[in-house]
Amino acid sequence: MLKIKNLKAGIGDKEILKGISLEVKPGEIHAIMGPNGSGKSTLASVLAGRETYEVTGGSVYFNDQNLLDLAPEERAREGIFLAFQYPVEIPGVSSTVFLKTALNEVRKHKGLEPLDAVEFLKLLKEKMKFVEIDKALLSRSLNEGFSGGEKKRNEIFQMALLDPKLAILDETDSGLDIDALKLVANGVNKLRNKDNAFIVITHYQRLLEYIVPDFVHVLHQGKIVRSGTKELALELEEKGYDWLKDEVLADP
């Protein structure tokens, strides 16, 4: 599904991603862990097509399509969901209108008819139930300001509605409480199936108590320095990230 080969990217003269290779197959959940500043969010941003970062080498293929050639909206239409790509702050547009447009674009791309207002409302209700989202939350204007937990709820709801092939979740907010973490995990666990895949980026092992990944990768200074199964996450929990320093010293 996703094939990243020797991906290099940075800002100006600063190289941040220094050769990342990663393959994600349908049905898999990959966790990307690593200390602060290792490049996790940069990787997510590059996959989303954020223009802040310049790709300087390597390739990214998504279902045999060169992802790096596609604009961010096109990537979304192809079935990639990035939590932060659907902003929770757009002045003047209520989230339902916004989501209907986004969903119908995805449908159009799949060769499906757009949903009319009634059909969309029906789907909306179904998905609201699915993620146990509050109606009040949904009808609120996007620029009204959401708490961390509300943002997560909204994010998972958007993911459920758009039903992506590949979802990339960057759990940057270390301030999330256990309820919010469980919410994210529940969403992922309910939505996962043999045809879709998830990349869950997280600094803390905590989240992985609720989402059991098939693979865990450790990012350090722009490189994947270790890959393993869920046991690797437990090992990291125990050892922290300090051992990475020794590793870098041993292999400069």
Binding site for ligand ADP (CB under 6 A): 11, 16, 34, 36-42, 52
59 sits near Mg ion (criterion: CB under 5 A): no
- Residue of closest CB approach to Mg ion: 41
The least CB distance from residue 104 to Mg ion, in Å, is 31
* CB 85, CB 45: distance < 8 Å: no
* CB 227, CB 198: distance < 8 Å: no
3-class SS at 18?
strand
The least CB distance from residue 172 to ligand ADP, in Å, is 7
Stretch that binds Mg ion, among 29-37, 92-100, 139-147, 220-228 (CB under 5 A): 29-37
CA distance 33 to 233: 8
148 binds, among Mg ion, ligand ADP, none (CB under 5 to 8 A by kind): none
**DSSP notation for 112-171:** PPPP-HHHHHHHHHHHHHHHT--HHHHHSBTTS---HHHHHHHHHHHHHHH--SEEEEEE
Q: How many CB atoms lie within 10 A of CB 83?
A: 23
96 binds, among Mg ion, ligand ADP, none (CB under 5 to 8 A by kind): none
52 binds, among Mg ion, ligand ADP, none (CB under 5 to 8 A by kind): ligand ADP
Q: Which of 96, 104, 172, 227 binds Mg ion (CB under 5 A)?
A: 172
